[in-house]
């Protein structure tokens, strides 16, 4: 895919990885549709891009809400008349152990609501946005690509039953879509970041952050730009589909 004048939608674009991806693709001449629930941060970041001469528009949308997502992609089609790429990046953490046990007795269980919130945003949100984007892309004569942001946690991680299950599900969607949608010239790829410095990881307890940095073979957290670079490479390489690219400093065992 040529990025010059390509229209790329990015979810969770108000901060963190999403905004770094938006900046990087805009530098290549792409037009950006920015999607997020955080209206204030989204509007501020979109205006920052526009001030630099980027063609960009923002859409306040909860990716877990079907009506929101349908309306959002209809609006993108109306505003840009095409969609070439989607970066399914919006995600949340609601970490907790399956069980907490004190003196041999179960003192706490992972709440269903804690499970469901993460599945709704991190998995159902990817499904809904991927479905609506693909529906617009099928009639596009140009190459198309959906990139889903998974995680190193997809292999299973302590305290992350909800997050790990959702991120493994995202990989399953990626391979399924690669097989189903290739006939419409739509590729589907996933990226599994390791520990990357963003507002999300800054919200972790300092001792957990220090521990992570210690166990990464490259010895430090990644930067949002590392993920943005891989997004760019995947979009530009039309022979990649159905695979997960790990960008984790060697963290995955």
Ligand X SMILES: NC(=O)c1ccc[n+]([C@@H]2O[C@H](COP(=O)([O-])OP(=O)(O)OC[C@H]3O[C@@H](n4cnc5c(N)ncnc54)[C@H](O)[C@@H]3O)[C@@H](O)[C@H]2O)c1
Just list the catalytic residues. Answer: 163
Q: Does 33 bind ligand X (CB under 6 A)?
A: no
Judged by CB under 6 A, the residue of 17, 21, 235, 245 near ligand X is 17
DSSP 152: G
Judged by CB under 6 A, the residue of 195, 228, 249, 251 near ligand X is 195
Helix (H, G, I), strand (E, B) or coil at 241: coil
| Degrees to nearest 5, angle at CA 169 with 168 and 171 | 70
Q: Give the whole-angstrom CA distance, residue 111 versus residue 33.
A: 35
Tell me how far, at minimum, the Cβ of 216 lies from ligand X, in Å: 11
Q: Which is nearer to ligand X, 91 or 96 (CB)?
A: 91
Question: Of how many residues is the chain composed?
Answer: 253
Site mask, ligand X, residues 118-157, x = CB under 6 A?
A: ---x---x-----------------------x-x------
Q: Which is nearer to ligand X, 3 or 20 (CB)?
A: 20
Tell me how far, at minimum, the Cβ of 90 lies from ligand X, in Å: 4
CA distances from 23 to 2, 217, 233 (A): 16, 28, 15
Q: Which stretch binds ligand X (CB under 6 A): 24-32, 86-94, 129-137, 232-240?
A: 86-94
CA distances from 123 to 54, 233, 245 (A): 30, 24, 18
Q: Which stretch binds ligand X (CB under 6 A): 77-85, 136-144, 196-204, 234-242?
A: 196-204
CA atoms within 13 A on the CB side of 182: 11
Tell me how far, at minimum, the Cβ of 194 lies from ligand X, in Å: 6
Q: Region of 5 please: left (phi>0), alpha (psi -120 to 50) or beta.
A: left
Beta bridge partners of 58: 34
Judged by CB under 6 A, the residue of 85, 91, 96, 249 near ligand X is 91
Tell me how far, at minimum, the Cβ of 169 lies from ligand X, in Å: 12
Alpha-carbon torsion angle 155, 156, 158, 162, nearest 10: 130
Q: How far apart are the first and last CA of the chain?
A: 33
Judged by CB under 6 A, the residue of 38, 71, 157, 175 near ligand X is 38
Judged by CB under 6 A, the residue of 160, 162, 198, 230 near ligand X is 198
Tell me how far, at minimum, the Cβ of 251 lies from ligand X, in Å: 10
Beta bridge partners of 105: 102
Instruction: Kindly determine how many residues on this chain lie close enough to bind ligand X according to the rule CB under 6 A.
Output: 28
Q: Which stretch binds ligand X (CB under 6 A): 15-23, 51-59, 97-105, 177-185?
A: 15-23
Picking from 191, 192, 196, 193, the residue whose alpha carbon sits closest to that of residue 213 is 196
Q: Give the whole-angstrom CA distance, residue 201 versus residue 214.
A: 15
- Which residues sit at the interface with ligand X, rule CB under 6 A? 11-12, 14-18, 36-38, 62-64, 89-92, 121, 125, 149, 151, 193, 195-196, 198-201
């Amino acid at each position: 895919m040529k990025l010059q004048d390509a229209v790329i939608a990015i979810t969770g674009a108000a901060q963190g990885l999403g905004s770094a991806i938006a900046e990087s693709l805009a530098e290549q001449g792409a037009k950006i549709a920015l999607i997020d629930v955080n209206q204030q941060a989204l509007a501020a970041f979109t205006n920052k891009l526009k001030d630099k001469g980027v063609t960009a528009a923002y859409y306040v949308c909860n990716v877990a809400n079907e009506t929101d997502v349908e309306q959002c992609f209809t609006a993108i089609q109306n505003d840009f008349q095409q969609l070439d790429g989607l970066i399914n990046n919006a995600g949340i953490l609601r970490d907790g152990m399956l069980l907490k046990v004190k003196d041999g007795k179960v003192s706490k269980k992972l709440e269903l609501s804690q499970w469901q919130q993460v599945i709704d945003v991190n998995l159902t949100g990817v499904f809904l946005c991927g479905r609506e984007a693909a529906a617009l892309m099928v009639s596009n004569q140009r190459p198309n690509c959906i990139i889903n942001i998974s995680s190193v946690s997809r292999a299973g991680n302590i305290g992350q039953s909800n997050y790990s299950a959702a991120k493994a599900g995202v990989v399953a969607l990626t391979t399924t879509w690669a097989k189903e949608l290739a006939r419409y010239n739509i590729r589907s790829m996933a990226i599994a970041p390791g520990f990357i410095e963003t507002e999300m990881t800054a919200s972790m307890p300092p001792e957990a952050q220090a521990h992570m940095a210690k166990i990464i073979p490259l010895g430090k957290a990644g930067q949002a730009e590392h993920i943005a670079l891989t997004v760019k490479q995947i979009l530009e390489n039309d022979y990649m589909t159905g695979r997960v690219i790990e960008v984790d400093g060697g963290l995955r065992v």
